[in-house]
A and B are shown apart, each in its own frame.
Chain A
Amino acid sequence: MSGGLTSQSFPKNARAALANPPLLKAIAHIEETLVGGRRRATEALPEFKALRDAGRDIKAHALDHLDLYLEAFERKVVEAGGFVHWAADAADANRIILDICRKAGAQRVTKGKSMITEEVGLNAFLQENGIAPVETDLGEYIIQLRGETPSHIIAPAVHVNKEQVAADFRRAHADLDPKRNLEEPTSLLAEARGVLRERFLSADVGITGANFLVAETGSTVIVTNEGNGDLTQILPKTHIVLASIEKVVPTLEDVATIMRLLARSATGQEMSVYTTFSTGPRRTGDPDGPEAFHVVLLDNGRSAMLGSEFEDMLRCIRCGACINHCPVYRSIGGHAYGSVYPGPMGSVLTPSLQGLEKSAHLANASTLCGRCESVCPMRIPLPKMLRHWREKEFERHLTPKKARFGLAAWRFLAARPRLYGLATRLGAWGLARLAGRDGSLRQAPLAGSWTRWRDLPAPEGGTFRTEWAKRGRK
């Protein structure tokens, strides 16, 4: 992936993002569209809170019995004439998919939008092996042309403006009339529709992810708005579904419950346009549909999260609500995280996927404001899990020395009230003197990164405890 995994240089990435006005302007749209949409949709459904509880309980039950539901799902897929493959990690999944493509003699591969294929780096792997998959979701198609990675899990090209898309299309669709008008989003969409229609119709293999795997029926479910996922999975002879193991839910009723949460939380729609259940390959007499149906079940670290302090994260349904509401994401966009999954859910998942050493910034780069948890349809305690990563970082002595020293000094002082009182008294007095009549300091000792951006309000003078004692109070 050209974006690469650069969580280690998060502060540098963030700085670059903050100095990129078109990016910031693009992200600002989220407030009205996704955040506003979610608010309106959830307010219009009185049962939304009860559905969140039910959704959480369904996933918790499914995770508690994950082995059994996966076995049940597998049985039903096989009964319906499909194949199930098990992939322990990304390399396994890539190899299995390449193998299926080769056996199918695949020249042309189309893809529906899927974060899990981003997680395993499928596109790059297939390309190295002579197969160039075409992304068909409009946003994914745009970033594929740009050689980028998604900056948002449901709005992959949210960082791109329409002028950039027009330039990309002119470059990529060089055979079209160079004088054509591409000013409006409608003309951009029409062009992508035309170009991709050809790809859909000529593909040998279609690869999608899955929003749900249904144990009761052996169905894989995709939820989309454009219809590209459906064209990807019904037109080619072979349909491959790559899904992580925690996507399994017991029954259709359980899908219905979570469906009611998903689109409302993601885009503010009551229901996405297309929710499609696929069960096995085409049946005898069917006029269309794939002749072969493969499901690749991916673990990639998830089985180790079960039973750990990060188990709740496996309830995630990838709606992106935490991302849309995160003040940090809203300041810097998704690429700065340098990880496959951005925002709060990404900051919790990424250390599990790529190691804490490479991603320790992510858990720290949060104000722990808790808005993510408050909008999470699955009630995942994201701030708590970010704090868990901070604890692991501290335990493993990965915390920067300066911060560790500061904490130790604070702890030493705070456990010694007299010394603490003296130090704070001197500090408050000193800063108040320094500020003089101004009431605020434009610069202050040890507060450089505060005063770089804002004034430091000066202390009133004496500390509360001194003043209290002066009044002879108990």
Chain B
Amino acid sequence: MSSRDAILGRIRRSLGASGSDATRLAAVRHRLAETPVNVVPARGQLPSSERVDLFVRKAGEVFASVARLEGREDIPGAVVSYLRDRNLPQEIRRGDDRRLADLPWEREAQLAVTTGPSDGSDLVGLSHSDAGVAETGTVVLTSGTDNPTTLNFLPDHHIVVVDASTVAGDYETVWAELRRRFGAGVMPRTVNLVTGPSRSADIEETLLLGAHGPRSLHILVVG
């Protein structure tokens, strides 16, 4: 017998249950198809502008910095200011995501923008998130042809664009949106929920930012 069958057999014996029991199968099918929502905190259930405010506050609480922009065309300028304020070279790397590619980068002549995944040598990465989650100040990033995951982790500084209209009150709203875009039961290869910059408390329980991932997370909230 394969290990697989042995393990499943032992589970069924311990449970005193059968793998072909119609009631059990129906219960599982129902749960996977209906994906019932459990308890959702009231905290994020707010009208949109207050929801975005909560997102900004929560992101700040976990040591992300946040800038609010009126329109997408302000993004290149905001990137330049961020780099200038931190005495960083005017260089960023980003994915080919249309939402980033279509921005007026030409307005910022001093800024060098390269595209593609990171090999670990980039100081600053720029990504576009698919959603923000107000309840914890979390940004949601999905991988894909034009959205390398390495940009989320290897650069020292990670700048993430969040469209204010995509800020959800809770994770459940994000799941529903993922299902709408990719299909039920289908996930992008990588979904990253990022809440603040990388940190560690492994030395004497002292909180330090910038363990292995980005030392700083800068969020540009647009709209």
Contacts and interface: CB of A to CB of B under 8 A. Distances in A.
Interface residues of B, number: 81
Nearest to B193: A275
Given A230-B152, A231-B153, A273 B196 contact: yes
Interface in B167-183: 170-172, 175, 178
Interface in B11-43: 11-12, 14-17, 19, 24-25, 27-28, 31-32, 35-43
B213 A250 contact: no
A203 to B, nearest CB: 12
Contact of A226 (B37, B189, B198): B198
Contacts of A308: 14
Interface in A201-230: 201, 215-219, 225-228, 230
B10 to A, nearest CB: 4
A68 B26 CA distance: 10
A193 interface: yes
Interface stretch (A252-260, A344-352, A371-379, A461-469): A252-260
A299 B187 contact: no
Given A158-B205, A234-B150, A225 B199 contact: yes
B39 A54 contact: yes
A273 B195 contact: yes
A254 B37 CA distance: 8
A256 B170 contact: yes
Interface stretch (B72-80, B81-89, B101-109, B137-145): B137-145
Contacts of A400: none
Given A226-B198, A231-B213, A260-B41, A289 B189 contact: yes
Nearest to B145: A285
B223 interface: no
Given A67-B19, A189-B203, A231-B154, A270 B136 contact: yes
B112 interface: no
Contact of B210 (A32, A50, A80, A193): A193
Contacts of A270: 58, 62, 135-136, 195
B208 A282 contact: no
Given A30-B205, A277-B187, A303-B14, A253 B196 contact: no
- Interface size class on chain A is 35 or more
A92 B138 CA distance: 38
A256 B174 CA distance: 10
B175 A252 contact: yes
Interface in A146-171: 155-158, 160-162, 165
A200 interface: yes
Contacts of A186: 208
Given A138-B202, A231-B154, A289-B190, A65 B28 contact: yes
A20 to B, nearest CB: 16
Contacts of A200: 120, 212
B170 to A, nearest CB: 7
A86 B2 contact: yes
Contact of B212 (A30, A227, A252): A227
B197 interface: yes
Greatest chain A CB density within 10 A among B4, B186, B198, B202 is at B202
B192 interface: yes
A142 interface: yes
B214 interface: yes
A29 interface: yes
Contacts of B31: 61, 250-251
Contact of A67 (B15, B178, B202): B15
B212 A231 contact: yes
B116 interface: yes
Contact of A47 (B42, B192, B202): B42
A108 B211 CA distance: 21
B123 interface: no
A61 B58 CA distance: 33
Contact of A303 (B10, B24, B28): B10
B191 interface: yes
Contacts of A29: 204-205
Given A226-B213, A272-B195, A304-B14, A139 B202 contact: yes
8 contacts: A68-B19, A137-B202, A217-B186, A256-B171, A269-B195, A287-B95, A288-B150, A304-B14
Nearest 9 CB-CB pairs, A to B?
Answer: A227-B213, A226-B211, A139-B202, A306-B14, A303-B10, A285-B145, A29-B205, A275-B193, A86-B4
Given A189-B211, A277-B190, A303-B11, 19 more contacts: A29-B205, A58-B38, A61-B31, A66-B11, A80-B189, A92-B3, A138-B203, A201-B120, A228-B213, A250-B28, A256-B38, A275-B192, A276-B190, A278-B189, A283-B144, A287-B116, A287-B150, A288-B150, A299-B10
